[in-house]
Structure 1
């Protein structure tokens, strides 16, 4: 990866933290982004904290990952979150939206990145701590206001007492003059008679006006305070910053996430992608009730015993999220058995619930044991899918026949049929499906589908017609070296293809492998790494060189294969 001159200079600047007081206050806002990226790349958490605390722009996006770019170090992410809380009280910070979507990943990895589960817990802790800090600041401000109000009241009382003393002195002087002057005595008699008749004197009128004005001011202050206490408070009034992220929740972190989502304070947590594991249907529904409805794009449920009835219960709630376009269900115990009572009704409710997902573009169903029910599920969706993942589903010939002629086929951009056994009966449906999706399909996975040399030879013409295909996964299929070379020669002729995950040929395995091994046997059987792997790699590279395809990446590494890096 070629670094620009600005990036190289930024790395040099952030490398020495002791010099940051000299340059940080003079940095123009245009250089904050390259300096922050250099701080992440060089693992400089102190520089990350100082830059984020003074962030000059309204939005900061840290998520996402480019090819060849590693995720930020755990210490840098922790420094970023601490700086966000400090920046709430820093006048130099203009940050209002923090976007961490795409930053989450699996735990561990090179460089000690912060995984999705740890980052979710850290985000929720940050939200709760920001709320506590805001309450403490409000209490301190309230105490200062109370002291200022008390001082003003004492000052008013002193002025009032001084004014009353001055009025009493004037009254005594007037009474003394009235006793000397006869005309004043007559006037005094008239005032006494007027007073006895219930008419207030001039002095009493002045005093009464002052007293009523003072009481009026007190009632206004008390009334205004009462209105402020009694009026319904806007939940968004205290929000200073919106934090968008992908939330990974399991049974251990569920309570903390629930608390953070229900907390009203300066930080408001929003979720773009919700992934839950080992959580009951009621707990999932509670989380969905707390999430803002406008921001949720995807839900991923894993290892939770939903059942068909539980999923049918969730779907109406999912339909209330207007931009929800992705639903993924992995190992959720959706076992449909027609011989059990109530299964027909549950399947009908499931179909009705799917019709309400108006914006769904991605559907992933892994190991759900619904053989023969693909038509019921997919025909309920109101618009064609763009991403369909159906691994370990034991698809029947009827399922594949429906899929090849469904309204989804021409719109598919990603298709995953891994670990579904293909044979002579299903091959015509697969060829028709590839023909229908040839203009849109970009990523295809047929790993572990029991494709032999003969079946692959019949499938290659249909594969070569997929002109938009960028990545192809064919791992764990029982191919010989001759079959593998035929696959690579076909891949060379596909100009848009950039990545091929190929299977190890049967010749690369140690002796004793069955003639038609399953994908599980191919995965567990030891390879002859000393001789055969080098021979296979050299032959494939020679075929690539002869075909002039230096931009086609070949790999047999199933664990590190990532089709998303092609986008």
Structure 2
């Protein structure tokens, strides 16, 4: 109740930006967090900027995992945050040292005005470069101010040196006139002559010093003969003021900008937690990995890049240099394995050796890599058992599933995705054995598009019901009847941990002409019968669920908006 009251008050405070000069000076540091959250929620970019520019703590975390129904921050608020970070660097009282933006990005192309991963990456790189340019400008201004001050001191010192011999000679002449002693006057003249020589040396040294200062100014104030590029490099080598942690999304359009930002030395240091790359070569990925610090990178996601088996075998040894790496995701990377292709067997062995070096790997996602019959070669080389294994569109064979059900990964899996792999009578024993092995650990299971018929699912239901830790189950795009779906819902109602069930549209809801055993692609493209109301099916299944006494289980057939992560 107190937290809700604080949030409500914070929203009222940030609503009127014109009043911010009055309350900002009196805000205690423990209220900055709820005020910033309220500014993001209410989409008040000016309030975001003012709060971040005066942030009183060493660490600022914005982003993270969003709760169900919570949207990503507005684009304008994120831009205001980044601008405030750059402005705060000029304030010596600025306390911020770590800026954590991991998980801040929204989905690309989503509703609203959220900033996607690619846009956020480009904005962060621009912020890093702007901070470097601003630091250089401040350093040049301070150096010019120091040079002028030093030149003024030198001129004043030189004037005193030049006047010194003249004053001493004048005093000696006055003494000689007053005493009238020719002998003493001669001695004083000798002294004047000797003092005059020392004064000339001082004058010469002062002139040389001024000449050196002028030459340094002409060559960039860093020494004789230094080029402008060398001057900038010297200016850039300053201490890092703020470490910026983020998830980076890189493709061919942003590759050069990200490379420049990662190699920039300045007040902001960009660090990466999860690296996602799309449509770039192995050599470009190597360049990015060379610029990242070895500590801190948790995962890499490679998509739509024609790596090939040999390219992936070349990439894996580079990943072994990151001890914290626990996630490797490869989507549509053209790893089509063909035994008749020369060199493929050798490349596959190198691939296995590269995977063996990933000591901390816990998540492996392989999408549409077309490696039939090679699952044992890939997974047996991993030193630690996996917790998350995603193998959609992998053309798995019965031997692959037989190995998986007996592997050292089976008893530790928390998430398993076998979507779009054909399951039939030959693979059914292996699937049942696999579900038995993972019954105490498996939380998320996807068998969408696997060709499960009423008979196959009926034989599989007892094994599914034994997975007592299961939280989400996806069975979309399987050719199932309404009667089978009713049995499925009754079984799901008896699973206490299950919170989300993605079921397929029953065959009765499609227009006539659908094949007897339709594929997932046919079920996806075939039109639904307009005479059948989709809400009728949903109402019937929810009635069955209510009769079983369950109200906390969500039933849905919306494949596009299904998100298993919302269950947690």
How high is the TM-score relative to the length of structure 2?
A: 0.91
In 2, the alpha carbon distance for the partners of 1:246 and 1:202 equals: 76
Segments of 5+ residues of structure 1 without an aligned counterpart are none
Residue 146 of structure 2 corresponds to 145
Cα displacement (A) at 1:528: 3.0
In 1, the alpha carbon distance for the partners of 2:110 and 2:305 equals: 26
Residue 180 of structure 1 corresponds to 181
Residue 41 of structure 2 corresponds to 41
Residue 17 of structure 1 corresponds to 17
In 2, the alpha carbon distance for the partners of 1:470 and 1:68 equals: 18
Residue 371 of structure 2 corresponds to 370
CA offsets, 1:75-104, max 9 Å, x none? Answer: 111111111111111345322211111112
In 1, the alpha carbon distance for the partners of 2:388 and 2:192 equals: 91
In 1, the alpha carbon distance for the partners of 2:176 and 2:528 equals: 122
Alignment CA distance shift 1:524-1:86 (3 Å): same
Residue 305 of structure 1 corresponds to 306
CA offsets, 1:421-479, max 9 Å, x none? Answer: 10111011011111111111111111111111111111111111112111111111111
Query: Mapping of 1:129-528 within 5 angstroms?
Result: 129-176=130-177, 180=181, 184=184, 188=187, 204=195, 207=198, 237-528=238-529
In 1, the alpha carbon distance for the partners of 2:167 and 2:11 equals: 75
Cα displacement (A) at 1:159: 2.3
Aligned length: 554
SS at match of 2:102: coil
Contact 1:54–1:90 (CA under 8 A) maintained in structure 2: no
Contact 2:366–2:391 (CA under 8 A) maintained in structure 1: yes
Cα displacement (A) at 1:35: 1.1
Contact 1:56–1:92 (CA under 8 A) maintained in structure 2: no
**Does the alignment pair 1:558 with 2:556?**
no
Residue 84 of structure 2 corresponds to 83
Contact 1:55–1:92 (CA under 8 A) maintained in structure 2: no
In 1, the alpha carbon distance for the partners of 2:351 and 2:94 equals: 49
Kindly report the root-mean-square deviation, in angstroms, between the aligned alpha carbons of the 2 structures.
2.9
Contact 1:419–1:447 (CA under 8 A) maintained in structure 2: yes
In 2, the alpha carbon distance for the partners of 1:297 and 1:490 equals: 38
SS at match of 1:4: helix
In 1, the alpha carbon distance for the partners of 2:390 and 2:522 equals: 23
Contact 2:161–2:202 (CA under 8 A) maintained in structure 1: no
In 2, the alpha carbon distance for the partners of 1:2 and 1:413 equals: 36
In 2, the alpha carbon distance for the partners of 1:439 and 1:112 equals: 41
In 2, the alpha carbon distance for the partners of 1:206 and 1:84 equals: 59
In 2, the alpha carbon distance for the partners of 1:538 and 1:289 equals: 56
SS at match of 1:344: helix
SS at match of 1:394: coil
How high is the TM-score relative to the length of structure 1?
A: 0.91
Contact 1:271–1:291 (CA under 8 A) maintained in structure 2: yes
Cα displacement (A) at 1:278: 0.8
Cα displacement (A) at 1:535: 2.0
CA offsets, 1:284-306, max 9 Å, x none? Answer: 11111111211211111111000
